[in-house]
Amino acid sequence: MKLLVVDDSQVLRKVVRAVADALEMETEEARDGIEALEKLGEIYGETDLVLLDWNMPEMSGYDVLVEIKKNEKYKDIPVMMVTTQGQRSNIVAAIRAGAANYLTKPFTVTELETKILECLQEDGDYL
């Protein structure tokens, strides 16, 4: 099981890696949307979930989500968006664009872990 975490914050990537380790998942990291799409081009066949921050420089998480969902090769990989609390518009936009789930900041480790499990279970790969 592999998770690609896309976030410009090193701290957040570290938190996600720690939780993924607990879930016995491998983690790949990308610091921005462009790197995420490049990386996905290499590892899409082995990626089970993308965790994507909304607010990133250069290319927003939303734009990355749209790109992922447009691409035949990786449009079926579940994407969980991470957005700021109170940004209801982001949540609606993310679901419309095909996000499998979303997480609002600030979140607890338990929320992160349960949401990842939820995404993977819905996708049918992980029980």
Partner 1 sequence: MDYSYLSLETARMDDKEFAVFRDYLCKSSGILVPPDKAYLFEMRLVKVMADAGCENFGELYRYIVSGKDPQITQKIINAMVINETLWFRDSLPWRVLEEDLLPRYIAELRSSARNKVRFWFSAVSTGQEAYSTVMCVDNYLKRKLVRDIQLSDFEFVATDISSRVLDVAKRGRYDAISIRRGLDDAYREKYFTQDKSAWELDPRIRDAVRFSRFNLQHSFLPLGSFDVIFCRYALIYFGDELKREISGKLRRALNRDGVLFVGNSAMSDYFRDGYEHVHYKNLTYFKASN
Residues that bind partner 1 (CB under 8 A): 15, 17-19, 21-24, 85-86, 88-89, 91-93, 95-96, 98, 101-102, 104, 108-111, 113-114, 117-118
Nearer to partner 1, 47 or 101 (CB): 101
Under 8 Å between Cβ of 115 and 80: yes
Nearer to partner 1, 39 or 105 (CB): 105
| 121 dihedral zone (left: phi>0; alpha: psi -120 to 50; beta) | alpha
Nearer to partner 1, 45 or 96 (CB): 96
**Strand (E) or helix (H) holding 96:** helix 88-96
Contacts of 34 (CB under 8 A, 6+ apart): 58, 59
- Closest CB 12 distance from partner 1, rounded Å: 12
Nearer to partner 1, 32 or 61 (CB): 61
- Closest CB 30 distance from partner 1, rounded Å: 19
Kindly provide the b/e burial profile for residues 1-24, where b requires at least 16 CB atoms within 10 angstroms of the residue's own CB: bbbbbbbbeeebbebbbebbeebe
- Closest CB 50 distance from partner 1, rounded Å: 16
- Closest CB 97 distance from partner 1, rounded Å: 8
